[in-house]
């Protein structure tokens, strides 16, 4: 394997870990009352609703987490009791509900994102205009490449 691949992956992992450490310091201490699966659900819900603010249906969350709707329902019930997730009526279908991240966690996620946007902007400011565009294009290309399951090597058979 090319040493550049190993170096790149190590740098990507180190960056990912630093960002996670930073974000972990931004969340309230009650975050430690959640399991890893619950945190994954909260994070996924935030990622899916961040831009629209419309919430999502339980089925969408279950599909994104690759779990059954029944398992997702049980997890959501627990997270609603803890205040991490809020259920709101769906304006388009009064029989349905949409899931949203709870207010406290929503504010923390938004604060963390603003700070990470500042960090990213500060980094981009260290680059020339050509480097900025190249970096943005390469990261977008890698994101597109990794979004296609066909590009991942098969797991051990």
Quote the percentage of the chain above a pLDDT of 90.
54
The confidence score (pLDDT) of residue 156 equals: 45
Residue 150 above 90 pLDDT? no
67-78: per-residue pLDDT in tens?
A: 999 999 999 999
147 CA to centre of own chain: 14
Give the up-direction half-sphere exposure of residue 119: CA atoms within 13 A in the CB hemisphere: 11
- Confidence at 26, pLDDT banded by 50, 70, 90: low
Residue 157 has pLDDT above 60, yes or no: no
**Residue 24 near residue 35, CB atoms below 8 Å:** no
Residue 7, token pair as written in the block: 């170096």
User: What predicted TM-score, i.e. pTM, was given to this entire model?
Assistant: 0.73
SS3 call for 127: coil
């Amino acid at each position: 394997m090319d040493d550049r691949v190993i170096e790149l992956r190590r740098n990507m992992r180190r960056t990912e870990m630093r960002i996670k450490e930073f974000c972990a310091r931004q969340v309230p201490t009650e975050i430690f009352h959640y399991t890893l699966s619950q945190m994954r659900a909260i994070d996924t819900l935030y990622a899916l609703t961040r831009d629209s603010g419309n919430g999502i249906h339980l089925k969408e969350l279950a599909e994104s987490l690759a779990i059954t709707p029944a398992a997702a329902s049980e997890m959501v019930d627990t997270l609603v009791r803890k205040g991490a997730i809020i259920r709101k009526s769906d304006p388009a279908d009064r029989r349905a509900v949409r899931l949203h991240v709870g207010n406290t966690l929503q504010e923390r996620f938004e604060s963390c994102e603003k700070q990470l946007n500042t960090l990213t902007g500060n980094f981009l400011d260290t680059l020339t205009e050509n480097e900025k565009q190249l970096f943005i294009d390469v990261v977008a290309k890698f994101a597109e490449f990794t979004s296609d399951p066909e590009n991942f090597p098969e797991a051990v058979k």
